[in-house]
C-alpha cells in the first residue's frame, strides 16, 4: 500500500520499494531528531577508536556495536540487525547470492569488455543524504520513515537500497559501474521477506558522441541501450524467456521501467530501471551526459533460479544447505532438507494509534530470530467504541530441526509479554 515501493528480495509482489505498494500499514515517523552527527560514523577517526565490544570492518571502516545500536530515540537498530552487518553473503563465491553476483558480472564483463567497475564492499552505513536526497527521494516519502528504515541516528541509516551509492561514484568519475551490497529494511515476516537482503545496482553513463551518431535524442538512446542490455542479462540468467517492459515510477529515473519475464508459467518482475534523472547527473558533475540505471534484488532472483523456498535459508550455516552450492554453478536446484512441521500460535490485542505491523515483527524477530516463519493478520475488527482489535497468527518453524513444545511456548510467552510492554497494546 505504500505510495511507492521497493526492490526487495520478495519473489511474489512486494518488490521495488520505490514503486510497489507494500500491503502493510506504515506510519509516519514522529521521533524527535537530535542534531547528533552520524557523519561521525564515516569519519575514520571515530571509527578507529579502540572499543571494548565487537568491532566490524566494513568497507575499510571499523565500526563498533555501540556506534550502530544505541538506546536513543533516534536509533531503531536492534542487536539482531547489527549481527548481520559484515556477513556479506554476496561475497561468498559458493553461496547462491555470490554465485548469482558472479553470473551477472560475467555477463557484463563479456559483453562490455570489462568496462564496468565493480564494488561489493561499500559500507552499508550511509547518510540520509546519500540514501534519499541524492537520489531525489521526496522529503515526505514513506521509505524515509522510522517504520520502514533503520536509523543509526537522525542523519544516518543502514542503506535501504544500493542506489545510495550512485551519486558518490558518479562524482568520483565512474561511468560504468555495478554495486552489490546488503540492504536493510524494516518489514513484515514471511517466506520472501527478511530485514536484510542484497541488491545490485548498475549504472552506465553516455556522452554526446555516443548518441549523436545514432540520430536518436539522448533519452531515447539511453532507454534503447538499457532495454537491450537488460534483456541480454535476463537471457543470460534465465535462458530464452518471453519478456515485457512495464512503465513505472521511481524518483531517480525518468522514464522508469520494470522488466518482467514469463517464467514457470507466470510473469515475474526481474528488476527496476530507467533513464537517470538529469538532476542527479547535473549535481554530480555530469551535466553533459545521460545515463541509465537499474537495481535488482539478488534473493528474489536466486530463490527462483536455485529453487530456494524460504529466504531464511540464505542465512543458514547448515551443511545440508551450504554444501549444495559451489562456485560457478548457476541455477543448481536446491534439494529441500527434510521439512519440519510448523507450529501456529495466535494472539489478539487492541491496537493503539502508533501500532504498526513492522514494529510487531521486529519484536517477534527479536525473540524468535529465524525460528519465525510468518506473521499474518488473520482477524481485524473495530468495535462500537472505536477500538480496533487485531489477531495475528505466528508460524514458528525451524529450517534445520524440530522445535519442542516447551521451546515454542517459551517464545510465545516472551512475545506476549514484550508485545504488551514494547508496543503498548492490550492483549485480549
Ligand atoms: N533502488 C530501487 C529500490 O530499491 C531499485 C532501482 C530501481 C534502482 C530503478 C535503480 C533504478 O537504479 O533505476 O527499489
**For residue 414, what is the domain's CATH number?**
3.30.70.380
Cα–Cα dist 427/106, whole Å: 54
The C-alpha cell at 425 is 497494546
Q: Is residue 33 a part of any domain in this protein?
A: no
Task: Determine the Cα–Cα distance for residues 89 and 303; give it in Å rounded to an integer.
Answer: 14
pLDDT in tens, 353-393: 999 999 999 999 999 999 999 999 999 999 999 999 999 99
226, 119: one domain: yes
Is residue 37 domain-resident?
A: no
Q: What is the pLDDT of residue 61?
A: 86
Same domain, 389 and 245: no
Residues 114 and 191 both lie in one domain: yes
- 266 or 28, which is more confident? 266
**Rounded mean pLDDT, 175-186:** 98
Using the 3D structure, point to which of 323, 353, 380 is the last residue of a domain: 323
Q: Give the residue, out of 6, 15, 16, 159, with the most ligand 1 atoms within 8 A of its beta carbon, to mutate for a pocket test.
A: 16
pLDDT at 406: 97
Confidence of residue 347 (pLDDT cuts 50, 70, 90): very high
107 and 238 fall within a common domain: yes
pLDDT in the model for residue 58: 87
Confidence class for position 17, pLDDT limits 50, 70, 90:
low
Our mutation pick for probing the ligand 1 site, out of 2, 3, 4, 7, counting the most ligand atoms within 8 A of Cβ, is 7
pLDDT digits (tens, 9 = 90+) for 143-172: 999 999 999 999 999 999 999 999 999 999
Q: Is the pLDDT of residue 32 over 80?
A: no
DSSP secondary structure code for residue 187 in this structure:
-
**Domains in the chain, number:** 2
> What is the pLDDT at residue 102?
98
Considering the chain, what is the average pLDDT of its residues? Answer: 89
The runs of H, that is alpha helices, within 163-244 are: 166-171, 208-212, 218-238
Q: Which domain holds residue 138?
A: 56-323
Res 109 pLDDT > 50: yes
Are 275 and 378 contained in the same domain? no
Ramachandran assignment for 47, one of left (phi > 0), alpha (psi -120 to 50 degrees), beta (any other): alpha
Residue 275 and residue 407 share a domain = no
What are φ and ψ of residue 116, in 5° steps? -80, 125
State the distance from the centre of ligand 1 to the C-alpha of 280, rounded, in angstroms. 14
Query: In terms of domains, do 284 and 210 share one?
Result: yes
Residues 190 and 265 in one domain: yes
CATH code at 126?
A: 3.30.930.10
Is residue 42 in some structural domain? no
Do 173 and 234 sit in the same domain of this protein? yes
Task: Express as a percent the part of the chain with pLDDT over 90.
Answer: 84
User: Could you tell me if 379 and 317 lie in one domain?
Assistant: no
Residue 318 has pLDDT above 80, yes or no: yes
**CB of 257 closer than 6 angstroms to any ligand 1 atom:** no
Please give the model's pTM, rounded to 2 decimal places: 0.88
Regarding whether 142 and 86 lie in a shared domain, the answer is: yes
Q: What is the pLDDT of residue 53?
A: 52
Categorize the per-residue pLDDT at 43 as very low, low, confident or very high, splitting at 50, 70 and 90.
very low
Q: How confident is the model at residue 34, as a pLDDT? A: 28
Same domain, 282 and 361: no
Amino acid at each position: 500500500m505504500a505510495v511507492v515501493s521497493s526492490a526487495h528480495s520478495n519473489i511474489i509482489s512486494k518488490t521495488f520499494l520505490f514503486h510497489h505498494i507494500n500491503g502493510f500499514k506504515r506510519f509516519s515517523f514522529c521521533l524527535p531528531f537530535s542534531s547528533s552527527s552520524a557523519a561521525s560514523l564515516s569519519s575514520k577517526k571515530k571509527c578507529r577508536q579502540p572499543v571494548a565490544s565487537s568491532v566490524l570492518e566494513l568497507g575499510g571502516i571499523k565500526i563498533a556495536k555501540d556506534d550502530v545500536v544505541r538506546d536513543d530515540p533516534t536509533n531503531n537498530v536492534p542487536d539482531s540487525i547489527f549481527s548481520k552487518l559484515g556477513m556479506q553473503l554476496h561475497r561468498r563465491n559458493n553461496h547462491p547470492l555470490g554465485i548469482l553476483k558472479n553470473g551477472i558480472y560475467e555477463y557484463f564483463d563479456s559483453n562490455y569488455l570489462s568496462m564496468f567497475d565493480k564494488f561489493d564492499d561499500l559500507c552499508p552505513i550511509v547518510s540520509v543524504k546519500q540514501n534519499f536526497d541524492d537520489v531525489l527521494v521526496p522529503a515526505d516519502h514513506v521509505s524515509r520513515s522510522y517504520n520502514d528504515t533503520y536509523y543509526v541516528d537522525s542523519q544516518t541509516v543502514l542503506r535501504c537500497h544500493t542506489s545510495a551509492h550512485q551519486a558518490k561514484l558518479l562524482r568520483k568519475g565512474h561511468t560504468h559501474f555495478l554495486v552489490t551490497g546488503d540492504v536493510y529494511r524494516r518489514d513484515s515476516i514471511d517466506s520472501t521477506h527478511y530485514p536484510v537482503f542484497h541488491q545490485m545496482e548498475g549504472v552506465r553513463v553516455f556522452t554526446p558522441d555516443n548518441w549523436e551518431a545514432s540520430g536518436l535524442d539522448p533519452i531515447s538512446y539511453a532507454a534503447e541501450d538499457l532495454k537491450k542490455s537488460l534483456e541480454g542479462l535476463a537471457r543470460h540468467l534465465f535462458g530464452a524467456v518471453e519478456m515485457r517492459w512495464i512503465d513505472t515510477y521511481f524518483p531517480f529515473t525518468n522514464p522508469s521501467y520494470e522488466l518482467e519475464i514469463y517464467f514457470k508459467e507466470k510473469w515475474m518482475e526481474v528488476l527496476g530501471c530507467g533513464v537517470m534523472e538529469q538532476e542527479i547527473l547535473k549535481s554530480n558533475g555530469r551535466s553533459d551526459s545521460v545515463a541509465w540505471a537499474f537495481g535488482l534484488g539478488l534473493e528474489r532472483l536466486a530463490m527462483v533460479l536455485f529453487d530456494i523456498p524460504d529466504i531464511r535459508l540464505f542465512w543458514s550455516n547448515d551443511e545440508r544447505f551450504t554444501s549444495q552450492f559451489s562456485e560457478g554453478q548457476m541455477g543448481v536446484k536446491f534439494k529441500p532438507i527434510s521439512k519440519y512441521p510448523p507450529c501456529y500460535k495466535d494472539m489478539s490485542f487492541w491496537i493503539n494509534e502508533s501500532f504498526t505491523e513492522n514494529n510487531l515483527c521486529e519484536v517477534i524477530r527479536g525473540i524468535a530470530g529465524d525460528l519465525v516463519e510468518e506473521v499474518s493478520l488473520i482477524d481485524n475488527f473495530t468495535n462500537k467504541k472505536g477500538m480496533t482489535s487485531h489477531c495475528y497468527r505466528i508460524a514458528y518453524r525451524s529450517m534445520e530441526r524440530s522445535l519442542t513444545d516447551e521451546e515454542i511456548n517459551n517464545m510465545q510467552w516472551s512475545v506476549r509479554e514484550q508485545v504488551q510492554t514494547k508496543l503498548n497494546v492490550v492483549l485480549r
